[in-house]
Structure 1
Amino acid sequence: MKRIITLFCMAAATAATAQTKVVTQAVITTKTTTVSPEGSEDMAPPPPPSGDGGEQRVTFRFGGDGETKTVTTLKGDMVKTYTENEMSRITTLRDNAKKTTTTLMEMMGKKTGVVATDEDQAAAAKKLDSMMQSRSQNGGGNFNFSSNTVTASDIAYTEESKKIAGLQCKKALVINTRKNGNKDTTVVWYCPDFKLQGLVSTGGTSGFGGFGARLTGLSGLDNLAGFPMQYEMKLNRGRKMIVEVTKITLDKEVSDKEFEISKDFELKSMKDMQNGGGPGMMFRFGGPGGGGGQ
Structure 2
Amino acid sequence: MPTLRDVAKLAGVSHTTVSHVLNGTKRVRPEVADRVWAAVETLEYRLNRPAQALRRGQSRILGLVLPDLTNPFFPGLAQAIGLAARKAGYALTLVDSLEDKTVEEEGLSRLAEEQVAGAIWVPVGDYVPPPFPVVLVDRTAEGADGVEADHFLGGQLQARHALALGHRRVGLLSGPQSLRSAHLRREGFLAEAKAGGLEVVWEEEVPFSLELSPRARARLRAVREEVTLVVAANDVIALAALEVLREAGVQVPEEVSLIGYDDIPWATLAHPPLTTIRQPVKEMAEAAVALLLRRLQEPEGEAVQIVVPVTLVPRGSTREVRR
TM-score of the two chains, using structure 2 as the length reference: 0.25
- Structure 1 or 2: more helix by fraction: 2
TM-score of the two chains, using structure 1 as the length reference: 0.26
Q: Of the two structures, which has the highest relative contact order with CA contacts closer than 8 Å and spacing of 6 or more?
A: 1
